Structure 1
Amino acid sequence: MIPPRPRTPTELAELACPRCGAPREAEPRACTKCGHAPRTTAGICDMRVDPNASGETDPLLPGDARGALAAVADGRDYKAVLERLLLELPEARSNRLDLVLRECRGAWLPLVQARGGRALYVGNPLSGTVVGLARTGFRTTVLDLDPQRLALAQARNEWVVPGRCVPLLGGDSARLPFRDRAFDVVVQELGPPEGLAGRGYALAELVRVCAGELALVADNRYGYKRSSGEKSSFRVLRPLEYLRRALRAPRGVRSLAGHRRALRRAGLGADRAFALYPHQSDFAYVASFDARGPHLFIGPKERANRAKMLVHKVGGFPLLAPSFLFLARRDASTARERLQPVLEELARKLDEPLPVIDQLVATRGNTALVQTAVPGRDERDPRGRWTLHVTVSPLQETQARTHFARYQQLQREFPSFPIPTPLHAGTFQSDDQGIGLFLTCERRLPGLTAPQHTGEHAMAEPMYRASAEHLAKLVVAPARPIDEQVWQELFGAKFDLVARYAAVASTLEWLARMRERSREWLLGEPMPRVIYHADLRSKHVQLDAAGRVLGYLDWGSSESSDLPYVDLFHLLVHERKQESGMSTGAAWRLAIGRDKLRPFERAALEDYQQRLGLSDRYCRAIEELYPLFVTAMAEKNWEYSRPRWMHRAFGV
């Protein structure tokens, strides 16, 4: 277990007896009113009424974390401990844990009105929302009933946001172990109905300990889909299952109107309601049900779904949205969202009109992506139309800085290369001056990202043609033969990194075999160096209505001097995967050698090859080694390695 960390009186000053409610001192003495005495369990203050009480352990089973906690107690690096745990768990639980840990679960935090102070988190302590709370200026008390799950969560917190979270064992009493109005913000994430026993605390009890704002994340009793527990995998409920849940919803699962009535009955004076879509366990969009944003983005593919558009047209989205977020206050005042002062400062710095939040996206890269617009202004007027990347996770700040710096480099050295205009990057402090939000701001491009046109070959052909031309411009060093030193730098180092985490015997064998073959194929081959995007998928290409490329987005994983041809090949493989629904491995195998590609796909690769003077031998080697490049980029930029990822993605 984690060794005890000394608690200061400030950290525990909000405590009250969970049995009788009498205020407590910080020292672990018995309650003078009822005799309840706190304990220390696993180095954590234990306020359980029953010392043997236990709660749900999702996504783990009892005992899963025992070895990991022993390793942390022995001084092992938390990142290595987590990677080992993910590898040792059965695949379903490993994937579920990875999903729960994602910090972008807190992508809605820029909408909170409080700008710092004390926060209480009630829910799954492993949730990435806890990191987001601490990251955005709150000293966060994390309450849970399971000692091992809470201890593992605290090890994560000390790794990512050291000193900003206080774990507390408790939750077996109807009364929260805190004084009245102890916290500026209270967050309760109820989780899916099948995953949380007890369904959390009564709203009245949450309101009792809340001095300002309550954030409630909960499912909709009429929601039509659920997360399967795998990333980007959702399940539409069968008719009988849907009716059963709608008619006999678990405690705490209500409709939109039902939640709002319950919030008012609990004494909250004002609330805002949002959809977490597609589902709270794995959402991409935060969309307001009110007239003010952020709004739900509805692309052309969604518009082609007549049933969905009919539901949307008749106002059915609030009724059927799978999950909700409610931000409610004790008073009826309309305090500003914490992002509002940031928008005001940016408007002053850039001398542009003050915009509002138009869209809010939780990205796979654990950032909150905010699209702004100026109400009443024509979309063709670029002023006030920005894209903000807000780093919810401190571990993503490096990527955000790389992203912005690469924009500046491209703008300076390749002015004709299409990218959004970089406008500003910096840290905006919360009321707690020790922490703030680092974000980047760029011009919001018109048009749509390429996935909105997936399958439309009339759009794909000009996109590939332009991409070949544009990417061929990014040469930073002339062609030279690949020698041992260059091979080790650009290939050998990637093999070393990927092999370190591969874990699967067949994957390790593939890496060893391809390592030797790559030397045979590539030593002596002439090759220029280019700026390498490293994650150029169709969602990072912005198109106009005719398929013309308006800009290449999201350069946080990029390299200033690396291999040519990989970016264009990656764009093509990933788009084939998206279009057909095939696996990444199947799309890769289809593209090797180009024989099975469409003429316009083949023409784009050949055009790029000719522009840079690359040999057939070099290009074929890059195609064969493609899984290496994708996995090396991921391993370099992930906060922690995902076990068996290369094997699952490519089948090697």
Structure 2
Amino acid sequence: MSAAKRGAQPAPWPLSVGALDECLASLRAGADFKTTLEELLLGLDPALAEHLMLLLREGRGAWLPFLRSSGGHALVLGNAFSATAHVLAGAGFRPTLCDPSPERMEFEAARCLALTGVKLDIVECQGTVQLPFETNHFELVVFEGVPHGWRTDWDATLAELVRVCGGELLVVADNRLGYKHSLGARGKYGVPSPLRFCLNVLGGVRGEHTLWGYKKALQGADSASPRAFALYPHSLDFSHIVGLDGIGPKLHIGPMERRNKLKLVGQATGLFPVLTPSFAIIKTEPGLARVPLRIERILRELSEQLDEPLPVADECVATRGNTALVQTAVPGANPEEPEGRWTLHIPLSPQQERQISRHHEVIERLWSPQAELPVPEPLFHGVLAGLSLSCERRLAGFGAPELSGDKACLDRTLDDIAGHFAGLAVGATEVLDEAGFAKHFDERFDLVRRHCGHASTARAILRLRDQTREQVLGLEVPLVLFHADLRSKHIQVDGRGRVLGYLDWGSSLDASLPYTDLLLFLIHEYKQSRDLAMPVAWRSLVEKGPLRPTEKEKLQGYAAALGLDEGYCRALEGCFPIFVAAMAESNWDYSRPRWVHRTFGL
């Protein structure tokens, strides 16, 4: 691209001018998208790469089930790094992407083609008042905020989007009264100063409104009142979709949140819609207003197929793994009654479709009313209302992180895990000779080393491989069903810490090495409950200094039940980062730059 032409175009924010040149040149030459994206991320400053990865998350489209439309022409206006266009393409829409940055659009068009096989229409608009589309042209319009480089203000842009929308208009917008905002890194949020908050009350920085202001701007003379949802904690990095009109999914408040009295008071007094940081607001044209929401059609079909009462969406989570997870409940029913209480997994990326399929396959194999290992009861896997999904029985209790720090509960949880997972031996053993080591260790070490992105880390991985080889060569070990991601958030417990079910089997392996599942649970529990960095938590466990007697007892009991050599256990503790990173690299849609170095300090 010539300097003169580039000078007339906005930078592909959050990247600078020219930052995408090599990436786009590679894609035009036919390079693999995944490899090209990984090279781009490796070349960026770590903080900038983190910000870009937040924008790239398909989970930002987790509002999809709450639309009425299920196909047709869709316009997406906003920063094209957002995954929204290809999420819609995968859900049956024909998207047109509109952004003042041609570089961002070319990038997303390549991504959409690689992931869905759909060729996006792209329209470069520099923020002129008149969009180049006929009135009512689109069945769906998604406005994700005024993109950098857009020259028309928010209200004028909104009016033009209303003109071209013939069905639903979804606006993702920040609340000018929001009490926090994303800092551009996962899980990191800032709180406005008192002065900044007062200025926001008087007027938003980029045209932001309050909830009432957005609804007023979208309310047409002949249309129903817009539906409003909170994207909480913030639109760039949200985990919950919460209905703000007295219906729709509610905000989950578990035991940990109940300790936050201020949060409880705000929720009880109705301040959540006033101060929540971000919204998704949906305006529906009269001709579409009587069409049920996609989630309503899905639930009705499931109710008929399963012959159970018709539930509603009780909670909706946008998972880190880019899935819309919907928990259901039957209005007015006893929550102890299982019928109509389901968990739906709706994948928003092709990679998640594969993982959800694997998860359903495993729990179908494991579940029975008499099974010693508790997993959710599988109910459905297939396509409903044009969306691929799986459905299982919603478990009682709550996620194990809600009891983090409670030692008595942790002991009961660990006791159950040790007993349950000792029973996952598949009946075969593996001699860790040269062939066995290559199969179970070399493949993992090589995968992690290829993606580590750091020369000193690559050398450390080779040294660790040689050390591990010396420790385990010649040993014989039983093979087990390996969960591979047994963190506390994937364990459902009761109020005493007893396990009610193990969740998320999408990364599992049928015949793999034992012991790592327990290590992962314990190390993550140390990390969460003590607010430790992962390298500190890992090395603490390896050195055995902080382990309590009951924790040592459970690890030793598990090892004894499977006949594991003590040297083998020490070797697995030492190479634990490799097993975790290999699982991640095998299941991510793209490698996170220098992840094993940043996470474990290797």
Is the TM-score greater than 0.5? yes
1:452 matched to 2:402? The reply is: yes
1:241 is displaced (CA, Å) by 2.4
The two structures, once aligned, show a CA RMSD in angstroms of 2.0
Q: Check conservation: 2:448, 2:582, Cα contact below 8 A.
A: yes
Q: Deviations over 1:126-145 (max 9, x none)?
A: 10122221111110000011
* CA–CA distance in structure 2, aligned partners of residues 75 and 259 of structure 1: 43
Q: Give aligned-pair identity as a percent.
A: 45
1:59 is displaced (CA, Å) by 2.1
Q: Which of 337, 349, 355 in structure 2 is aligned with 1:399?
A: 355
Q: Using the TM superposition, name which of 348-357 and 593-602 deviates more.
A: 593-602
What is the one-letter code of the residue matched to 2:104?
R
1:164 is displaced (CA, Å) by 4.6
Q: How has the CA–CA distance of structure 1 residues 191 and 390 changed in structure 2, closer, same or farther, with 3 Å as cutoff?
A: farther
1:442 matched to 2:385? The reply is: no
Which residue does 1:31 correspond to in 2? none
* CA–CA distance in structure 2, aligned partners of residues 344 and 501 of structure 1: 45
1:250 is displaced (CA, Å) by 2.4
Instruction: For residue 631 of structure 1, give the secondary structure of its aligned residue in structure 2.
Output: helix
1:215 matched to 2:170? The reply is: yes
Instruction: For residue 300 of structure 1, give the secondary structure of its aligned residue in structure 2.
Output: coil
* CA–CA distance in structure 1, aligned partners of residues 146 and 351 of structure 2: 25
Q: Check conservation: 2:126, 2:150, Cα contact below 8 A.
A: no
Q: How has the CA–CA distance of structure 1 residues 282 and 311 changed in structure 2, closer, same or farther, with 3 Å as cutoff?
A: same
Q: Using the TM superposition, name which of 161-170 and 379-388 deviates more.
A: 161-170
Instruction: For residue 362 of structure 2, give the secondary structure of its aligned residue in structure 1.
Output: helix
Q: How has the CA–CA distance of structure 1 residues 484 and 150 changed in structure 2, closer, same or farther, with 3 Å as cutoff?
A: same
1:478 is displaced (CA, Å) by 3.8
Q: Deviations over 1:180-210 (max 9, x none)?
A: 0010010000179x99775555322111000
Q: How has the CA–CA distance of structure 1 residues 368 and 525 changed in structure 2, closer, same or farther, with 3 Å as cutoff?
A: same
Q: How has the CA–CA distance of structure 1 residues 497 and 450 changed in structure 2, closer, same or farther, with 3 Å as cutoff?
A: same
Q: How has the CA–CA distance of structure 1 residues 473 and 209 changed in structure 2, closer, same or farther, with 3 Å as cutoff?
A: same
What is the one-letter code of the residue matched to 1:394?
P
What is the one-letter code of the residue matched to 2:157?
A
Aligned length in residues? 598
1:239 is displaced (CA, Å) by 2.0
1:364 matched to 2:320? The reply is: yes
Which residue does 1:618 correspond to in 2? 568
Q: Which of 85, 108, 115 in structure 2 is aligned with 1:130?
A: 85
Q: Using the TM superposition, name which of 101-110 and 161-170 deviates more.
A: 161-170
Which residue does 1:279 correspond to in 2? 234
Q: Which of 28, 33, 58 in structure 2 is aligned with 1:73?
A: 28
1:97 is displaced (CA, Å) by 1.2
Which residue does 1:237 correspond to in 2? 192
**Which structure 2 segments of 5+ residues have no match?**
none
What is the one-letter code of the residue matched to 2:82?
S
Instruction: For residue 325 of structure 1, give the secondary structure of its aligned residue in structure 2.
Output: strand
1:182 matched to 2:137? The reply is: yes
Q: Which of 572, 588, 598 in structure 2 is aligned with 1:638?
A: 588
1:550 matched to 2:505? The reply is: no
* CA–CA distance in structure 1, aligned partners of residues 223 and 173 of structure 2: 17
Q: Check conservation: 1:275, 1:323, Cα contact below 8 A.
A: yes
Q: Check conservation: 1:131, 1:157, Cα contact below 8 A.
A: yes
Q: Using the TM superposition, name which of 542-551 and 51-60 deviates more.
A: 51-60
Q: Which of 101, 111, 114 in structure 2 is aligned with 1:156?
A: 111
* CA–CA distance in structure 2, aligned partners of residues 650 and 53 of structure 1: 44
1:535 matched to 2:485? The reply is: yes
What is the one-letter code of the residue matched to 1:555?
W
1:228-627 matches, within 5 Å, as: 228-264=183-219, 268-331=223-286, 333-411=289-367, 415-430=371-386, 437-627=387-577
Q: Check conservation: 1:186, 1:214, Cα contact below 8 A.
A: yes
1:440 is displaced (CA, Å) by 0.7
Q: How has the CA–CA distance of structure 1 residues 217 and 184 changed in structure 2, closer, same or farther, with 3 Å as cutoff?
A: same
Instruction: For residue 496 of structure 1, give the secondary structure of its aligned residue in structure 2.
Output: helix
What is the one-letter code of the residue matched to 1:293?
G
1:479 is displaced (CA, Å) by 3.9
* CA–CA distance in structure 1, aligned partners of residues 395 and 596 of structure 2: 34
1:480 is displaced (CA, Å) by 4.3
* CA–CA distance in structure 1, aligned partners of residues 6 and 510 of structure 2: 56
1:385 is displaced (CA, Å) by 0.5
Instruction: For residue 270 of structure 1, give the secondary structure of its aligned residue in structure 2.
Output: coil
Q: Deviations over 1:562-586 (max 9, x none)?
A: 1100001100100111111111111
1:72-151 matches, within 5 Å, as: 72-151=27-106
1:265 is displaced (CA, Å) by 5.4
Q: How has the CA–CA distance of structure 1 residues 650 and 199 changed in structure 2, closer, same or farther, with 3 Å as cutoff?
A: farther
Q: How has the CA–CA distance of structure 1 residues 400 and 641 changed in structure 2, closer, same or farther, with 3 Å as cutoff?
A: same
What is the one-letter code of the residue matched to 1:439?
L
* CA–CA distance in structure 2, aligned partners of residues 197 and 630 of structure 1: 46
1:335 is displaced (CA, Å) by 2.5
Q: How has the CA–CA distance of structure 1 residues 461 and 77 changed in structure 2, closer, same or farther, with 3 Å as cutoff?
A: same
What is the one-letter code of the residue matched to 1:473?
G
* CA–CA distance in structure 2, aligned partners of residues 106 and 189 of structure 1: 10
1:157 is displaced (CA, Å) by 1.1
* CA–CA distance in structure 2, aligned partners of residues 581 and 367 of structure 1: 27
* CA–CA distance in structure 1, aligned partners of residues 571 and 6 of structure 2: 62
Q: Check conservation: 1:400, 1:440, Cα contact below 8 A.
A: yes
Q: Using the TM superposition, name which of 54-63 and 510-519 deviates more.
A: 54-63
